[in-house]
Amino acid sequence: MNPPTPLLEGLHSFKLPIPYPMKTVTVLVSTASPITLIDTGVNHLETQVALEEHLKSLGLTVLDLERVILTHNHPDHSGLSGWIQRQSGAKVLMLDHEVQDSAHYLSSTWFKPHLEHLTAHGLPPELAPTLEGFQKSRAEIDFPETVQTLQAGDTLELVGERFEVLWMPGHSDGHLTLWSANSGLLIAGDVLLERITPHIGLYARGRPDPLGDYLTSLERIVALEPRSTVVGHYGPTIEGGAVRANQIREHHHERLEHLQTLLERPLGGFEVSLELFRRELPASGRRFALTETLAHLEHLRLRGVLRREWVNEGWLYAKV
Applying CB under 5 A, the residues found at the interface with Zn ion are 76, 190, 232
Looking at the Cβ atoms of 78 and 88, the one nearer to Zn ion is 78
Looking at the Cβ atoms of 71 and 293, the one nearer to Zn ion is 71
Looking at the Cβ atoms of 76 and 142, the one nearer to Zn ion is 76
Least distance (Å) from Zn ion to the CB of residue 264? 36
Q: How far is residue 204's CA from residue 110's CA, in Å, rounded to a whole number?
A: 8
**SS3 label, residue 81:** helix
**Helix residue ranges per DSSP H, 69-209:** 75-78, 81-88, 96-105, 111-120, 131-138
Looking at the Cβ atoms of 232 and 236, the one nearer to Zn ion is 232
Looking at the Cβ atoms of 97 and 233, the one nearer to Zn ion is 233
Contact 127, 103 (CB under 8 A): no
Nearest residue to 38 (alpha-carbon basis) of 137, 159, 129, 122: 159
Least distance (Å) from Zn ion to the CB of residue 74? 5
Q: How far is residue 29's CA from residue 178's CA, in Å, rounded to a whole number?
A: 14
Contact 318, 307 (CB under 8 A): yes
Q: How far is residue 227's CA from residue 307's CA, in Å, rounded to a whole number?
A: 42
